[in-house]
Amino acid sequence: MQANTKSDVYYFINKSNEYIVITAKHVPSTDKENAKLIIDDERVIKEYYKEYYTSGNNYELVFTCGTNANYKDKHIFYYNNRVDLPILNNGTETVLTIKSTNDYFNTNENSDTANSLCSIANSMLKIARPIQYPLNGFDKMNEIENKDLVSILFSNIYYGHNDTTVPTLEENLREFKELIDYHILPSCSDFLETNFTLSECNVATLTQSVEYNNCKKTSEDTLSSTVCNYIPLGNIISVLTYVVTGIFYFTGLICLVLMIK
C-alpha cells in the first residue's frame, strides 16, 4: 500500500442487479500529480479488468483523477459523490459508476480537498459567479458550469490535450474563448432577430444549408435547410433544359433556312 493512503467503501450495482461493496484507497495529490484511487478488489479486477487479472496475484490498479474517464490513461472522473471508472465492455470503452459511502473528496476532514477535486475550478466558478440585477445571474452561466469549460481549460493548460500535442497558453485560451462564444449564443427557437447565411445550392438535392450567425440550433423546429431559388448548372434539370433549348434552337434554324430557299 502506498504511503498517506486512506481507505473508503464504495458500492455499485452489477449486471445481475446485485449490490457489490468494495474497498478502495485514496492517495492525496502532490505538486506534480493529482489524487489517485487504488482498487485491489479481486472481484472487480477479474470482472472488469481481465487483462490485468492473474489468479493469486495481489495486483493493484491505480487510477488518476482527471476531467474524463479514460481506460488507456487510467483516468477516473469524480462528481457528486460518485466516481466513473473506465472499463471495457465487449471491447468497447464505457464507465462503471461507483458511489462512496463517505464522500472522501468533498468532506471537511480531508485537508487535500482543494487539490483533490477534479472539478475544483468549476466549483469555484459556481461560488464566484456575479449576480446580475435584480435577482438572477446570467442565464447562460448554468450551461457553462454544466459543461465544465473552466475545469477543462485548466486541465488542458496543466496536462495538455494528449501525449502528442502540447498547445500553447494562447491556443488554450483561444479554444476556451471559442467554446464560451458558442455556449452563450441564444437558442434560435427563442431568438426572433436571427442572422443567417445560405450555403451554395446542392446540385443533387437543390437545397441550401442555413448557417446561423447569432444563435444556435437546439430544436428540430429550427430551419436547417431551404429550397434553392435557382437551378445550378450541374443539375440534371439544368442540363436537360439546355439540351431541349438547343434542340429547339437548332430545329428553328433549319426551318428558317428551308423557308428562305
Nearest residue to 126 (alpha-carbon basis) of 151, 102, 105, 108: 151
Averaged pLDDT for residues 16-40: 81
Would the pLDDT of 242 be above 80? no
pLDDT of residue 108: 42
- What SS3 state is found at 91? coil
CB 69 within 8 A of CB 88: no
CB 48 within 8 A of CB 22: no
Would the pLDDT of 240 be above 60? yes
**pLDDT tens digits, 55-95:** 666 678 889 888 888 888 888 888 767 888 898 877 788 88
pLDDT of residue 117: 42
Averaged pLDDT for residues 115-134: 48
pLDDT of residue 163: 55
Neighbours of 160 (CB within 10 A): 13
Determine the Cα–Cα distance for residues 140 and 86; give it in Å rounded to an integer: 31
Would the pLDDT of 197 be above 70? yes
Q: Return the residue matching grid coordinates 458558442.
A: 182
Determine the Cα–Cα distance for residues 259 and 261; give it in Å rounded to an integer: 5
Per-chain mean pLDDT for the chain? 74
Output the pTM of the full model.
Answer: 0.40
Higher pLDDT, 161 or 148: 148
Would the pLDDT of 45 be above 80? yes
CB 195 within 8 A of CB 214: yes
